[in-house]
Chains A and B, each alone.
Chain A
Amino acid sequence: AQKITQTQPGMFVQEKEAVTLDCTYDTSDPSYGLFWYKQPSSGEMIFLIYQGSYDQQNATEGRYSLNFQKARKSANLVISASQLGDSAMYFCAMRASGTYKYIFGTGTRLKVLA
């Protein structure tokens, strides 16, 4: 069975510093996709970054990068130069190739301190 685990219920980071949000996954499928979403207090889930299981390089999108370690089955999100607006819930999700079904983790609440 597929599973996403986010072990950090809450994190604090000082403004302008970098922070890593952990995500581990479990799947027996050889092909899959990993996603990170941000959910601010307004409730809308915002897509941040995607990593395919066969991608050779770690994905990057602006201040977001995904530290993908396939052998360890981890897909950690790194946010560089944190901003106050980064305060939100962050969810890691996985989709097996050939399906459109997404499995979400329980999320990590990030608070950026001024």
Chain B
Amino acid sequence: EAGVVQSPRYKIIEKKQPVAFWCNPISGHNTLYWYRQNLGQGPELLIRYENEEAVDDSQLPKDRFSAERLKGVDSTLKIQPAELGDSAVYLCASSLEGYEQYFGPGTRLTVT
């Protein structure tokens, strides 16, 4: 069974530029999570989807971050414009009915 797929694995952009991350969850998993992990820290939830619905986006900086999950499968997380403080690893995870999460390899974003 294929795991959670994320792309790109690495991204370097200049500040004020836009950037997008893509996630394909494990087939059949209805819950999808986007996390941000700063260096030396644990993951922090940005947004959680149940099927197509964003049910927890309280930690998402909505002035510059946006996300979507079309047809309840793939998801895209966007930042526009990026700031230096956005440099981090962005992790996508999926789960079936809230049981243990399975994570993708993450996207390491560097904003210069």
A44 touches B100 (CB 8 A): no
On chain A, the number of residues with a Cβ less than 8 Å from chain B's Cβ atoms is 21
A101 touches B42 (CB 8 A): no
> Which listed residue, B31, B42, B44, B91, touches A100 by the CB 8 Å rule?
B31
Whether A42 is near chain B, meaning CB under 8 Å from some CB there, is yes
Whether B22 is near chain A, meaning CB under 8 Å from some CB there, is no
B108 touches A47 (CB 8 A): no
Closest to B44 in A: A104
B98 touches A95 (CB 8 A): yes
Closest to B104 in A: A44
| Chain B residues in the interface with A (C-beta under 8 A) | 31, 33, 40-45, 48, 50, 55-56, 89, 91, 93, 95, 98, 100-106, 108
Extra pairs beyond A43-B89, A47-B102, A100-B55 (4, CB < 8 Å)? A42-B105, A45-B43, A100-B50, A101-B48
